[in-house]
Structure 1
Amino acid sequence: MSRLRRTGVMAAALAMAALATGCGIRTTSVPVDAGPAPSRVPCDVPGEEAAAQTTGIAVRVFLVCGSQLDAVDRRSPLQEEKADGDPVRTAAALLAQLQSEPSQSERQAGFSTAVKGPLTVTGGRQGDPADTLRLSRQPEDLTATALSQIVCTFAGSPAGVGEDTVVLGGPGDYAPRRYRCTAEVRQRPDSAVPTAAAPTPPPKPSLS
């Protein structure tokens, strides 16, 4: 290779190195882990949609967003005077909301629901603890995510029994159980929902 050609090659190499440095590029032989790509799911419904809904009563339901549960404010067509003080009516209205498809704004924000119909709710039977709600399917037969949505939605409403819990049963003869909505359930709705035995109702006084 002639001296003139070698000089040209070296000059081109120096120019390319200077260009890379000017662009802020640093060469390295060590692989760099930049971490996972940032999520583009906002999990936040614009306030204008909720404000535009003026009919019905305000309710809060838990929907799936990403891999977690997030609360969404909606308006239920149930009249307030019918829902006030009636846990069964409140639960029925909330369950209907959970089974309805998310609105366009909710879908754009990344929300979905795992609660699929047909699914209904009624009050407890004779001998059940107070404030028991019985679903038309056994709670353990639902997917973990669907049950997590129902438990957290009911527990945070007048249908719950306090302390983020709700007493649920199914159509069978199995005793109802107390289900708790915890921070872990909201963060991992696909995991098992914590349960405990429901309180036994006191015996009826003897008539004798």
Structure 2
Amino acid sequence: MRRRALGRTAGAGVLAAVLAVLAAGCGIRTTSVPVDAGPAPSRVPCSPAADVPARGVPVRVFLVCGSQLEAVERRSSLPEEKTDADPVRTARELLAQSLAEPSEDERRAGFTTAVRGPLTVGGGRRGDPAGTLRLSRQPEDLAPTALSQLVCSFGESSAGAGGHTVLLGGPGPYAPKRYRCTTGLRERPESAPPTAPVPAPAATEPTAATGTAPGTG
């Protein structure tokens, strides 16, 4: 009986040794402690690898990445004093940036744009609240994601009406709406942008700089 028990023990030891060698040969490291390697790496970093060019005034435009809106820093060719003092010029620059195809680095990072031309932007008309912008197409006629891009790009810049909002209208005889760029909209840009109360209309006629009709100037 003792000899048989010793034989079983020796056989089990040999089997364990063989399994250990096989595991080492396959590159498997045995451990009794669970390893937390963290979350799987994202395939879409949503962050351009290249540095932003040093020339020009920095502007932020919202593009689509991973089904959400993410801000990308670009460089404007406008003088700095123009981007701060002239909301319409700022809006036109942001619209041009939104219409442009993302750079190679931005595409690799997963960025796209839903804004499509032809599309222009100008100032408000008589009776509009101060700071109104009017597109050459009705905002409601744009693709929802495209409108969300513009609302956030305009609303988060000097072209906005303050409080992450923008007064936006179209070429038709409709009053502008005050659209809001919210966290929820950036997370779900395919939804309709929320609105806020519209301030009282401007008491005076818009100046030439802000009263230019969409598509002119």
TM-score (normalised: structure 1): 0.78
Q: Distance in 2 between matches of 1:98 and 1:45?
A: 16
Structure 2: 5+ residue stretches without partners: 1-14, 31-39, 205-217
Flag as ranges the 4+ runs of structure 1 deviating above 3 A. Answer: 17-20
Q: Distance in 1 between matches of 2:115 and 2:202?
A: 34
Letter in 1 for 2:46: C
Q: Distance in 2 between matches of 1:119 and 1:192?
A: 19
Q: How many residues align?
A: 185
CA 43–202 in structure 1, closer or farther in 2 if over 3 Å, else same: closer
Question: Aligned with 1:41: secondary structure?
Answer: coil
The equivalent residue for 1:177 is: 177
Q: CA deviation at 1:202?
A: 6.2
Question: Aligned with 1:49: secondary structure?
Answer: coil
> What is the aligned counterpart of 1:49 among 23, 48, 51?
51
Paired-residue identity, %: 66
Structure 1: 5+ residue stretches without partners: 1-13, 25-36
Q: Distance in 2 between matches of 1:170 and 1:109?
A: 33
Q: Distance in 2 between matches of 1:121 and 1:161?
A: 15
TM-score (normalised: structure 2): 0.75
Aligned-residue CA RMSD in angstroms? 2.9
Letter in 2 for 1:147: L
Structure having greater relative contact order (Cα 8 Å, sep ≥ 6):
2
The equivalent residue for 1:153 is: 153
Deviation per CA, 1:32-62: give whole Å up to 9, x if none.
Answer: xxxxx7640000112x421xx1222110010
Q: Distance in 2 between matches of 1:145 and 1:121?
A: 18
Q: Distance in 2 between matches of 1:102 and 1:152?
A: 17
